[in-house]
Amino acid sequence: MSIERTRPPHGGHGERGITVLLRRMHDAVAQEGSAQERLDHLTRAIASHVVADVCSIYLRRPDDDLELYSTEGLNREAVHLTRLKWGEGLVGLVAQNSRPLVTADAPLHPAFSYRPETGEDPLQSFLGVPLIRSGKVLGVLVIQNKAARSYTDEEVEAVQAVATLLAEISASGELLSQEETAEVGEMLHRPEKLKGFGIVSGVAFGKAVFLEAPAPKHKVFARNVAAEAERLEDGLTRLRASVDDMLSSNAGLSGVSRDVLEAYRLFAYDRGWKDRLRAAVFSGLTAESAVEQVRGENRARLMQAGDSYLRERLYDLDDLSNRLLRLLSGDDDGKRRGAHDEAVLVARTMGPAQLLEYGRDALKGLVLAEMSETSHAAIVARALKIPMVTGLHDAVERAEEGDQIIVDGDAGEVHIRPSPEIAEDYRRKQRSQNERRAIYLSERSLPSVTRDGVGVSLMMNAGLVLDMPSLHETGGEGVGLFRTELQFLIGERLPSVASQQALYREVLDAADGKPVVFRTADIGGDKTAAYMDGWRESNPAMGWRGLRMAMDRPGMIRPQLRALLSAAAERTLHIMFPLVTLASELDEARNLLDREIERARKRGRPLPQTISIGAMIETPSAAWRADIIARKVDFLSIGGNDLAQFYFAADRDSERVQRRYDPMNPGFLSFLKMTVDKAEAARAPLAYCGEQAADLVTAAALIGLGVRRFSVPASTVGPFRRLVRSVSSAELAAWLAPRLDQPAPSLREGFAAHLREKGAALE
């Protein structure tokens, strides 16, 4: 009984397909008469086509009640009389949950609410679908039948397609009165508070700018079908030309591999996609609504696909649809539009190169749907001190270009169109943060020593020359981790020796004698660039990456080692190798370094005065053999992000699992304690470079475990120094030691309470 297959029961002509229903909906809206009469015609058209005993449309009112606006099958007297509270009854539940509800026996459902004025006593089956626009529920479309039956996935999908159009109609002014349309507009522009995950701390104020701007507002139904078909054809022609140009020039697409571009091309030229778009237009839709209609169908099908590759193609289809919508609106260049003077960039995902394209002075904040705290875009944002919140999948739908936005990177909150009261609260918070930063600045020369006299070395993480001024602003003792891979990932090809040498020399000059630990490029696996086509793996975190890849491809690491040796001539060079798993790998790495040293000597080139070699402990195998690895290097550094990932078997870049573990888990802490003890027994200096140390509670625990060197984000150095000066390392160790064997999932709450009781500086 799906829309695709049902024959109209009331003397239909045997026509099939959703295009028939769309044409009937178009005819209903185009009829003369009052708004109520046209809405009733629309409801009858839907009920007739899906062979439903009842079809009802509930619309959301300004007080959030859901009012019965039209029905075919229920008592007409109930229209505008029956109202349900938000979350009340099955209709209210659909609205509250923003998703369809299907039941074969509605009266037995625990949320069922009986309204005698509707006359729905004999009805059993219920299918309710929310009308959603800009991420907000505007109403509910309900299909009911007397017979107890289950609606199929295909039927639900078809009714969802109708609901999408009803939501557009509600906001377009094509059906409701001017006053009612204005009320819908007010609902769409209410203040919104979204909760995500704070990635870069700080508060930002600005106006929404989209990396991929949403489609402009448009009419739903066509006045001239032939003209709309011509517009669609012209838009597709220009879309294909732009994709061909992108494929041939690859301009401005750093980090996008050719296979993605080929997929774009295949979809852009897909005959089936074009035919479905044309069918939607000839059913009476505008070209824009046809694109949105077909995109909704694709999205519904692919999101249910078991194949992850097919689900990923949803992004390709979405992007092509967005491009086509912009072309239909007259945006021919398809390029990023200029940002506001105070811009908050809103996007689903982005790469570091795209972020760097925006002017730092204009870009105030980032709101992203699908970024982890260790992604390269997040690293760049942290380096640029741009407040960032992620995990907000509906931010793109809920915000509009130019909306006022507040980004709270500390609480992980985003306020869209905030009220004056909320805005003033955040102005006060921003002033407080500025005052706190001034205090940290005044304390930068104070020694980082605990109350019981234990010195703790504080260094900062970096990955860009832009980071280096923070070294002196914060009073950091050096750069404990300089991530060199950003230069490898942002470009269109492998960086030359000359360009690498220039970067490393500039970093050393900026450090002004303070040590800089250069980690060789940790690429491969999940960190690939455009020139690394074909290197993607099904499980990249566990795959061909880091030192293991460098040993297999010496043509990548040897030029980097050559550049480092040259840049550090007559100075001290600190080199650290990433993702060490076996001690034998360090023998290979040192052999390559020795060959580059010998090469430089033969050519009479100056070398560093001292070369210090380190290994990153990022895998359980390396941690378990930290004492053996320590014999082959000058220092060790725990990479807490990866080590925690492998310890908990939780992909750090997976939003679904990355926050299911806590580094304050006693098992993980005892594992770290073992590693610290092994390094100490081998008399190897040990640092901690994980982002977990940016959390002051975890940082205090690491001090209690015996870690005495840290490399943290620049923004953390000041708070970390205050923490160190406020605690006793002996007291921290005494609290932790008897609790490391506990089965509790986390010691965080109890340890934080202990720190507060002892007067530790946690803010």
DSSP string, 23-60: HHHHHHHHSSS-HHHHHHHHHHHHHHHHT-SEEEEEEE
- How many Cβ atoms are within 10 Å of 256's Cβ, its own excluded? 17
CATH number at residue 237: 1.10.274.10
Task: Supply the DSSP symbol for 677.
Answer: H
Measure the CA dihedral 374/375/380/381, to 10°: -80
Give the span between the Cα atoms of 138 and 166, in whole angstroms. 9
Note whether 118 and 206 are same-domain residues.
no
Note whether 513 and 609 are same-domain residues.
yes
Note whether 124 and 245 are same-domain residues.
no
Contact between 476 and 459 under an 8 Å Cβ cutoff? The reply is yes
3 state SS of 611: strand
13 labelled catalytic: no
State which H helix or E strand residue 378 sits in.
helix 376-383
- How many Cβ atoms are within 10 Å of 40's Cβ, its own excluded? 20
Maximum pairwise Cα distance, the chain: 97
Note whether 153 and 291 are same-domain residues.
no
- Mean of the pLDDT values across residues 280-285? 86
Note whether 48 and 177 are same-domain residues.
yes
| pLDDT tops 50 at residue 308 | no
Q: What pLDDT does residue 264 have?
A: 54
Note whether 311 and 342 are same-domain residues.
no
The first and second tokens of residue 698, run together, are 């975890």
* Tokens 């260790």 sit on residue: 374
Contact between 353 and 380 under an 8 Å Cβ cutoff? The reply is no
3 state SS of 474: helix
Q: Would 300 be classed as within a structural domain?
A: yes
Contact between 455 and 447 under an 8 Å Cβ cutoff? The reply is yes
DSSP symbols for 220-244? SB-S-HHHHHHHHHHHHHHHHHHHH
697 CB-side CA count, 13 A:
15
* Tokens 């573990």 sit on residue: 661
Q: Torsion-angle region of residue 703: left (phi > 0), alpha (psi -120 to 50) or beta?
A: alpha
pLDDT in tens, 458-474: 999 988 787 888 899 99
Give, in degrees to the nearest 5, the angle at Cα 202 between 199 and 203: 115
Q: Would 503 be classed as within a structural domain?
A: yes
- Mean of the pLDDT values across residues 41-58? 86
Nearest to 232 by CA among 196, 279, 183, 193: 279
Q: What pLDDT does residue 633 have?
A: 95
- Mean of the pLDDT values across residues 466-495? 83
Task: Supply the DSSP symbol for 631.
Answer: T
Note whether 746 and 682 are same-domain residues.
yes
Cβ density class 567-586: b for 16+ within 10 Å, e for less: bbbebebbbbbbbbbbbebb
CA distances from 33 to 24, 46, 172 (A): 16, 19, 18
User: Where is the domain boundary, 434, 462, 494?
Assistant: 434
Q: What pLDDT does residue 478 have?
A: 96
Contact between 596 and 554 under an 8 Å Cβ cutoff? The reply is no
Q: Tell which wins on pLDDT, 88 or 392.
A: 88
Q: What pLDDT does residue 726 have?
A: 95
Q: What share of the chain is helix, strand, coil (3-state, %, to 5)?
A: 50, 15, 35
Q: Would 1 be classed as within a structural domain?
A: no
Residue 352: band (very low, low, confident or very high) from pLDDT cuts 50, 70, 90: low
Give the span between the Cα atoms of 575 and 565, in whole angstroms. 10
Q: How many domains does the chain have?
A: 4
User: Where is the domain boundary, 284, 300, 328?
Assistant: 328
Note whether 545 and 694 are same-domain residues.
yes
Burial of 285 (0-12, 13-18, 19+ CB in 10 A): buried
Nearest to 599 by CA among 562, 563, 630, 550: 562
Q: Would 13 be classed as within a structural domain?
A: no
Note whether 278 and 347 are same-domain residues.
no
Q: Would 304 be classed as within a structural domain?
A: yes
Note whether 625 and 654 are same-domain residues.
yes
Burial of 667 (0-12, 13-18, 19+ CB in 10 A): middle
Residue 421 contacts by C-beta under 8 Å, 6 or more apart in sequence?
none
Give the span between the Cα atoms of 685 and 694, in whole angstroms. 21
Least confident of 161-170, 281-290, 678-687: 161-170
Q: Would 708 be classed as within a structural domain?
A: yes
Q: Tell which wins on pLDDT, 736 or 385.
A: 736
CATH number at residue 135: 3.30.450.40
Q: Tell which wins on pLDDT, 544 or 626.
A: 626
Give the span between the Cα atoms of 453 and 530, in whole angstroms. 51
Residue 713's φ and ψ, nearest 5 degrees, are: -55, 145
Q: Would 9 be classed as within a structural domain?
A: no
Nearest to 370 by CA among 489, 199, 203, 256: 199
Q: Would 217 be classed as within a structural domain?
A: no
Q: Tell which wins on pLDDT, 310 or 66.
A: 66
- Mean of the pLDDT values across residues 492-521? 90
| pLDDT tops 50 at residue 118 | yes
Residue 144 contacts by C-beta under 8 Å, 6 or more apart in sequence?
52, 53, 54, 55, 56, 73, 106, 120, 123, 125, 126, 127
pLDDT in tens, 430-443: 888 888 888 888 89
The domain of 734 spans: 443-757
Contact between 693 and 702 under an 8 Å Cβ cutoff? The reply is yes
Beta bridge partners of 573: 611
Q: Which of 41, 49, 574, 689 is the catalytic position? A: 689
| pLDDT tops 80 at residue 344 | yes
Sign of the torsion angle spanned by Cα atoms 90, 91, 95, 101: positive
The first and second tokens of residue 57, run together, are 């449309």
pLDDT in tens, 360-373: 677 889 998 776 65
Q: Which of 26, 41, 49, 376 is the catalytic position? A: 376
Q: What pLDDT does residue 84 have?
A: 93
Q: In whole numbers, what is the pLDDT of the chain averaged over residues?
A: 81
pTM (2 d.p.): 0.59
55 labelled catalytic: no
Beta bridge partners of 516: 479
CA distances from 97 to 169, 433, 602, 638 (A): 22, 37, 71, 43
Q: Torsion-angle region of residue 12: left (phi > 0), alpha (psi -120 to 50) or beta?
A: beta
Beta bridge partners of 78: none
| pLDDT tops 70 at residue 329 | yes
- Mean of the pLDDT values across residues 215-226? 75
User: Where is the domain boundary, 275, 302, 328?
Assistant: 328
Q: What pLDDT does residue 526 have?
A: 55
Q: What pLDDT does residue 714 have?
A: 87
| pLDDT tops 80 at residue 119 | yes
Pairing of strands 479-483, 388-390: unpaired
Note whether 239 and 290 are same-domain residues.
yes
Nearest to 520 by CA among 490, 496, 545: 545
CATH number at residue 575: 3.20.20.60
Residue 577: band (very low, low, confident or very high) from pLDDT cuts 50, 70, 90: very high
Nearest to 384 by CA among 364, 408, 398: 364
Q: Tell which wins on pLDDT, 564 or 47.
A: 564
Note whether 68 and 207 are same-domain residues.
no
Residue 758 contacts by C-beta under 8 Å, 6 or more apart in sequence?
727, 728, 731
3 state SS of 430: helix
- Mean of the pLDDT values across residues 113-133? 89
Q: What pLDDT does residue 254 have?
A: 31
Helix axes 696-705, 729-736, angle to 10 degrees: 90
